[in-house]
Structure 1
């Protein structure tokens, strides 16, 4: 077994990727292009103070943290009035002092990464890839009381992927348990079962350890951590070690836990979404309903994220840190695809530590009453309303031009929770909108001519969009318009098969 001591942060991605933060330049590599697939499946007071504090930190850190990217973030910036409201919730003198101290600590940590300078990695299976890949599938694993599910997860992962898809990825597994016998057994099992993938340099297993002096909470014997606090601490350290190493292997990073199963061709699903979002700003793309698994990042953002993990040790839950990291890099709302690409079985401890976590189960769409307007060419009696009617009718047009739109204007504002747009014929797949996006509109104009303000929901992926609509906490703003916008001229027929809308009438059940 070889031993590597990894020093400092991972290097920035410099390929043709989307890039870090909320920037969008380049896109997924085409040499490993998979076959096209339409997207079918992506104490109370203390908590309140913590949330207010992190939001305020986010606003101040943002200006220092990404100065070189300020010109590229206009779509996600908060207004001065919103910033004043957030900061007004805190005690001004004390909070500003704490934030300045935190900012200095964070900037120093970002420069030197003192904790990650002591990170140690020992290669157990495989070797790093010789060329940069499109996607690193990162899995952090440790020994579970009920036995590890890692081998089953790896088996399902490789079975769900075709050979061209596998050429795009490297699977990185970080084992955090320090028991030599367990490490040797896991390494031997993986070598026996996945030798072909190991020899193809698409599977790498390492033992990771955060060396150096103990962290402060490790020395607090008078107040031993609760089970949940211990879980949060271990998760942050393990993921910091995983992401620190993964920052060098690919353009994008997909986070998985060691107890998941994936749908067939999930790599193609991720690929085509990355391609559609290549020129749009994003920080985290979420392909599942799970707390951690199924999230995709730019690898150029991973050094910043690992610094944040190690700065906020103690008992801060991981999902809160990921949410605040998204805000730090100026993505104000989650980008969450409705259909998940994976599933997961939770341990009893995880269920105990996340008691309020629920999974949305959507019923049938319930399109509210609306008017439909368009500036596309309408032929004969094929009216635009067909696109919004929940039946087999569809709206057809010819040679749509850049800037053309079809807009749904709701009779009254609604709290819409999910939107699906289908274009093109069903079988065979043709006549779909090649380049388009869906926008959300607010404040209806007089005469039902559209809305006064629009924000991006997302681009169509292979003529299809299916996303969850998120709102800021305690927001009273409701949706008034849904606009399908053509982004490039298309010399062919276009079928807008169906626009499906779900309002706030949905069922929830525990995961």
Structure 2
């Protein structure tokens, strides 16, 4: 509904003159005196109505500029549907005046020019919410290498089905180039189709009007103009992501797009939250910068508003420390007392669960050799007691990192760049019954050296049963060459599954590469379960 002040004023004028004409039509003096008094009252009421209308129009104008930070997204998306209710409320009680609400527009006034500048662009997502843990990963266009796929593979590897259902990973593509954003979403859809389809993985980006003009920033703390732009944008990116995630789960964990996660990180974090008292602002699962900081989602609006309030002034890790100072430090006491109080509001988990692996920073031209010393030495391979077998491979290994050493449980296998047709073969002296298998590629030192487009195949000693299985329709098993049957494939660097009873016993098992790789391949775990 729209209000047109000019029409209202015209209507009042017409009513006024009609009233005068009606009064003049009565010649009786007594009646005229009564009507004159009524006219005076009407004029007073008319003036009050005019003031009330002016006030109403002014407040309606202010509505579009006053959005509370804690309801940032809901106010933006539902403003049109609530306008009628708000207007009715204002008309019912215009005499009551409320103080202006704090708003993101006070800190980023350029957003007032574009009403939809705070609406997130959800590229991929199923609207998952109500989970225990939300992982937020901002990513940007890098001049050199992108680590995003490897980071996500590390986070997803080893999660149980129940953990996957109780987790949400939000990738925030902090770019306004829609073509680039769509490219990232397409890459993640191709690499993690199951996670996207289930709603475990979301991809969002900001409006093209979200960021201010970074050229107007002042250089502070001896930082160059490029670094000031970089740290300011980082503050805005983290704030956007926090506000988007605030109603998705119970806890929010801030990560970066170039990290490696330790096995079992999810269960370790969840257990630590249960052991910690409720009086904390954040928990630390890494000592580096902002990596691995966990917050309660109910605190995110306050934290994000603080970041936005000072987004042009200081780096985000400094601002986080300032929040602690404001909350618990007494200016009349010394730094030792302050540090003690802050320590009670942040709890540290050791050893660290996340390691920084990126060499090229998102700040152009900067190299980062940051390593978390508390991360410890993640096992480079996992040994198992595998059945006796003759092992061989068409791939050449690097230095002493051979297939034989891995199978015996003394090292990992590191092969030079695989090409189509390469294989790894396990031949058993006698056919054996195999319950299942697990092959894991990559490790903490070579996160990206994984097997892709590689199948797991078995040679059954029961040829007739294998043919019958393959002839069945539909069948998830496929025929390969030399009477081998395809029973599985690598997904995110891992192949795991069971072998059907009808194919037992097994004479041989092999891995077959179906396309040329761009990187070396490292096999860190072989477990043939008998």
With structure 2 as the length reference, what TM-score do the two structures score?
A: 0.44
Higher strand share: 1
Higher helix share: 2
If asked which structure has higher relative contact order (CA below 8 Å, sep 6+), I would say 1
Task: Mark the structure with the bigger radius of gyration.
Answer: 2
With structure 1 as the length reference, what TM-score do the two structures score?
A: 0.46
